[in-house]
Structure 1
Amino acid sequence: MPEFTLERVIRAAPAEVFAASIDPALHVESMARYGETMVDGPEGGVFTEGSTVTWRARHFGITFRLTSMVFSIDPPYRFSDRQIRGPFGAFHHDHVFLEHPDGTLMRDTITFHSPFGPLGALVDRLFMREYLRRLIEERNRVMAVSVEGRRA
């Protein structure tokens, strides 16, 4: 399965970065460019162990729904989410938050594959991996600006 890892240093404590990363409202804000909305969110508006959320967004001119589950929550160090229904054959996202001299090193590891066997594998190689990488980078940029702005 295709996989990539992104790292970004955010000038804030791991607990602040963790809290921002697990905030559904900030996720929606970070994906505004794609018209992403939360169709069905976690109870209480906060992700907890086993929470599910359904997102609706427009990518490649097509509206998609993706339902994911949050698990392995270990504040403020890590959590994971994975698709349980949606457009991917599989989608798994590990979020890790490590202390860093300048704040927090946030590490995202994405493992995924598109459906449709060899055709999906070709799509992944040709453009899906890079598309997802840019999407997660954008999400992380918005989150960093938000978290660092709270500290100003």
Structure 2
Amino acid sequence: MPEIHLTTVIKSDIQTIFDLSRDIDFHQNSVSETNEKAIAGRTSGLIEEGETVTWRARHLGIYQKLTTKIIAMNKSYHFTDIMQKGAFKSMKHQHIFRQEGEKTIMTDIFEFQSPFGIIGKVFDALLLKNYMKNFLLERNKLIKTVAENKRKRERSERQNS
């Protein structure tokens, strides 16, 4: 089963990063190139443990639906979502957060498997793993930018008051 491990260092507090990572509205805005829309379950705000969301998005030129459920959450430190219904044979995404001084270390562990046996394995290795890695990298880059800009604004406001 392919796994993607990403680590992103962000100059911001852990709560901001945790909340941005589970914010349905932010996610929809952060992945505009795939036209992702939450269409069922939790469709706005911060998703919580036990809740589901169904996304409709265009990936690799094809519109598809993916329903995920938050199966575990330790607020500010970790949450895990799994696919309940969608194009993958299986999918699990662990979001892990650790505060180190003024920085938050955000770790993604994304595990997935395509259907169709050996053909799916070849597709995963040749195309899908890199596609999903780049998708997650772009999303993490936006989380980092938004969180760090928020921190800069807050510091500037404190200095000016």
TM-score normalised to structure 2 length: 0.90
- Rounded to whole Å, the distance in 2 between the matches of 1:122 and 1:141 is 28
- Rounded to whole Å, the distance in 2 between the matches of 1:124 and 1:31 is 21
Shift of 1:102: 4.4
- Rounded to whole Å, the distance in 1 between the matches of 2:7 and 2:90 is 22
Q: Which residue of 2 aligns with 1:94?
A: 94
- Rounded to whole Å, the distance in 1 between the matches of 2:92 and 2:104 is 22
Instruction: State the aligned residue count.
Output: 152
Letter of the aligned partner of 1:72 in structure 2?
A
Task: Flag as ranges the 4+ runs of structure 1 deviating above 6 A.
Answer: none
Q: Deviations along 1:75-121, whole A, 9 cap, x unmatched? A: 11000001100000001000000112441000000000001111000
Shift of 1:43: 7.1
Letter of the aligned partner of 2:55 in structure 1?
W
- Rounded to whole Å, the distance in 2 between the matches of 1:129 and 1:122 is 10
Pairwise CA RMSD of aligned residues? Answer: 1.3
Structure 2 spans left out of the alignment, 5+ residues: 153-161
Q: Deviations along 1:8-45, whole A, 9 cap, x unmatched? A: 00111111111111111111111111111111141773
Secondary structure of the residue aligned to 2:12 is: coil
- Structure 2 counterparts to residues 1-152 of structure 1, below 5 A: 1-42=1-42, 45-152=45-152
Structure 1 spans left out of the alignment, 5+ residues: none
Shift of 1:51: 0.5
Looking at CA atoms only, which structure, 1 or 2, has the larger radius of gyration?
A: 2
Identity %: 35
The answer as to whether partners of 1:18 and 1:97 remain within 8 angstroms in 2 is yes
1:85/1:33 CA distance change after superposition, 3 Å: same
- Rounded to whole Å, the distance in 2 between the matches of 1:41 and 1:97 is 25
TM-score normalised to structure 1 length: 0.95
Secondary structure of the residue aligned to 1:126 is: helix
Q: Deviations along 1:117-151, whole A, 9 cap, x unmatched? A: 11000000101101000000011011111111211
- Rounded to whole Å, the distance in 2 between the matches of 1:103 and 1:16 is 11
